[in-house]
Amino acid sequence: MVVLLTDFGQSEYVGVMKGVIFTIDDRATIVDLCHTISGQSIVEASWVLKNNYKYFPQSSIFCCVVDPGVGTGRKALAVKTPRYYFVAPDNGLLWETLQQQQIVCIKQVPIPSDASHTFHGRDVFAKAAAQIHLGKFDDLGETIQHIEKLDLYQNATKGLVVRIDSFGNIVTNLRKRDKDKYDVTIEEKTHRMAYYDNYDAGPQDELFLIEGSNGTLEISLKNGNANDKLSLRAGQKIEIA
């Protein structure tokens, strides 16, 4: 199974990547994890991958293309762990996911001389994922030892906005504590927000906090879009105290 994670949205780029994979291995099964990562947001892609890869079958191949460095000298990676494979640019996207696992082997995938300078998803990563699906991981390239790090900033009360979901919920990487109300500070502006156990319990027309499915605090608006009120983006620092 090849699992795709990109910031390509509803574009032809996703379909082309699938076409490349099927051309190399027409027996492949392809699953879309997410294509609505904010454009070039490595932080958001890292968060989505680290929280969701574990729900897929053993031997799944995660082909992750959020790649602001496309066309530069950044490496292309293929990584094997005891249960999964990951293909991605070497920009930190894989770092936190791999901290949860044992790394068996890292390959540096060569960039073909005729590869597009803007679409390595098609010309590098989809091809590598298909080769892994054929059982050819060991043939992908030179074995290397180190990859780029990207730790998602976090302590007890300070962290990051890691995703704005399709409902406008503002997802953070901060855990809830035993409190009914929190002070939420963004760019030196503080908002007082109550915590509720579910969306229905929240008040109308007032921002509140809820624990999301990944076990972290989210800013929500009942029957509305919280981010329409705050206009935040993935990667922004936030304090919830």
Region 186-202: mean pLDDT is 95
Which bin fits 205, alpha (ψ -120 to 50), beta or left (φ > 0)? Answer: left
Region 223-233: mean pLDDT is 96
Q: Per-residue pLDDT tens for 177-193?
A: 999 999 999 998 999 99
pLDDT for the residue 234 = 96
Per-chain mean pLDDT for the chain: 97
Q: How confident is the model at residue 240 (pLDDT cuts 50, 70, 90)?
A: very high
Residue 188: CB partners within 8 Å, gap ≥ 6?
none
Q: What domains can you pick out in the chain, each with its CATH number?
A: 2-144 (3.40.50.10790), 158-240 (2.40.30.90)
Q: Per-residue pLDDT tens for 43-90?
A: 999 999 999 999 999 999 999 999 999 999 999 999 999 999 999 999
| Token output for 235 | 């990667």
The proportion of the chain whose per-residue pLDDT surpasses 90, expressed as a percent, equals 98
Q: Per-residue pLDDT tens for 113-126?
A: 999 999 999 999 99
**236 vs 95, 99, 158, CA distance in Å?**
19, 22, 11
pLDDT for the residue 64 = 98
**235 vs 45, 66, 165, 171, 216, CA distance in Å?**
11, 14, 14, 11, 15
Residue 12: its H or E element? helix 12-24
pLDDT for the residue 62 = 99
CB atoms within 10 A of CB 97: 25
Residue 152: its H or E element? none
- Our measurement of the distance from residue 75's CA atom to the centroid of its chain's CA atoms, rounded to an integer in Å, reads 18
Q: Per-residue pLDDT tens for 22-39?
A: 999 999 999 999 999 999
Q: How confident is the model at residue 100 (pLDDT cuts 50, 70, 90)?
A: very high
DSSP conformational letter for 176:
P
Closest C-alpha to 206, from 182, 222, 186: 222
pLDDT for the residue 16 = 98
- Contact between 172 and 227 (Cβ < 8 Å): no
pLDDT for the residue 147 = 97
pLDDT for the residue 183 = 97
